[in-house]
Amino acid sequence: MSGSALAVALVHHPIVDKRGDQVVTAVTNLDLHDIARTARTYGVRRFYVITPAVEQLLLVERILQHWREGHGASYNPHRGEALALIETATTLEAAIAAWSRETGAEAMPILTGAKRSDGVSFEQCRQLRQQHPLLLVFGTGWGLAPEIFTRGWTVLEPIRGAGDYNHLPVRSAAAIILDRLHAEP
C-alpha cells in the first residue's frame, strides 16, 4: 500500500442509535476480529477500539489476551497476528493523539458514514495519504453522532452500491474502503 502509515478507529461513543439518540454501543467480538483481519491484510498499522466504558475496555483486553497469549494463540496464530494491531482508547481525540505520537506527524482523521454527501472522493483520500498519516474513523450502531461531524475533520464520500440501499455492516464498509484506498490512483 502506497503512502503514509494508515490506522483505523472503531467508535462506540458518541454514536447514534436507530432513533437518532446518542448512545454507547457494545463492543462486539466479531467487529474486532473482522476489522483486524482486514486491516492486517491491507497493511494498516493500528486499529483503535474506542469506548469510554471501562467494562468494555476490559472485555477487549480479555479477547486480546485469549488470542495473543491464551488457547487462541496456539489454535490460530493468524488471529493473534491481526489482533495485535488493536489498541484501546477512551475517546477519538485520544486515539488521534496516540497515532500522531506513534507516527511522529500530525495524524488526520477521516470520518466515514453512509449518509454523508459532503465528503472527499476516494481519489482525494489517496492523495491525502501521501501527505499525512490517516486515521479512518468508523462508527458502530447507526453511525457516528452528528457532533463528530462539526469538528472540521475531513469526511470521506459514502460507498455507493447499485441502488438506494445503503445499510452495509461496518465490517464490510471497512473492507471496501481499505480495498479502495489500496488501489493505485
Positions touching a copy of itself (CB under 8 A) are: 1, 18, 30, 33-34, 37-38, 40-43, 76, 78, 81-82, 159, 161-163, 165-169, 171-176, 179-180, 182
Kindly state the helix (H) or strand (E) to which residue 33 belongs, with its residue range: helix 29-41
E-only strand ranges, 55-95: 86-89
Give the integer Cα–Cα distance in Å for 181 and 15: 25
**CB closer to a copy of itself out of 89 and 177:** 177
Asked if the peptide bond before residue 52 counts as cis, ω within 30 degrees of 0, the response is no
CB of 151 to a copy of itself, least distance (A): 28
CB of 109 to a copy of itself, least distance (A): 21
**CB closer to a copy of itself out of 121 and 172:** 172
Give the integer Cα–Cα distance in Å for 151 and 134: 16
CB of 55 to a copy of itself, least distance (A): 23
**CB closer to a copy of itself out of 53 and 159:** 159
CB of 126 to a copy of itself, least distance (A): 14
**CB closer to a copy of itself out of 38 and 92:** 38
User: In terms of DSSP bridges, do strands 154-155 and 108-111 run parallel, antiparallel, or are they unpaired?
Assistant: parallel
Residue bearing cell 470521506: 156
Kindly state the helix (H) or strand (E) to which residue 141 belongs, with its residue range: none
CB of 12 to a copy of itself, least distance (A): 18
